[in-house]
Amino acid sequence: MKAFGILLTLWGCLSLYLSHPHQALLKTQFSSKFAYGGIVIVMLGLLILLYALPALVAVCVWVVIAIFIWSFIPFLPFFKRYMPDEHQK
């Protein structure tokens, strides 16, 4: 149950990040439906974590996952190999 709550939180945070207009991971952003879906999924992940863990631990795990995802994901494009035909002048 804990793993499912963590996976939902990861998925929701990623969905929220990819629906932002300034994300650099994809060439186009997701629609705003993904942002609303991401909010629902993140909150559902928190509810599952609250059911499976003590409240303080659940909120701490939830916040740490969100901080980790939203701090690590923006740097993934820097690890991507440079492909000259991708960038047009």
Return the C-alpha torsion angle 56, 54, 39, 25, nearest 10.
80
User: What is the rounded CA–CA span in Å between residue 24 and residue 4?
Assistant: 28
Inside any domain, residue 57: yes
Inside any domain, residue 52: yes
Is the pLDDT at 88 greater than 60, yes or no? no
The three-class DSSP label of residue 78 is: helix
Inside any domain, residue 86: no
pLDDT in tens, 17-72: 888 888 877 777 788 888 899 999 999 999 999 999 999 999 999 999 999 998 98
pLDDT band at 11 (very low <50, low <70, confident <90, very high): very high
The three-class DSSP label of residue 56 is: helix
Q: What is the DSSP letter of 74?
A: G
Residue 68 belongs to domain spanning: 2-78
Closest CA to 19 of 65, 55, 84, 73: 73
Inside any domain, residue 61: yes
- What domain count does the chain have? 1
Backbone angles phi, psi at 26, to 5 degrees: -115, 160
Inside any domain, residue 87: no
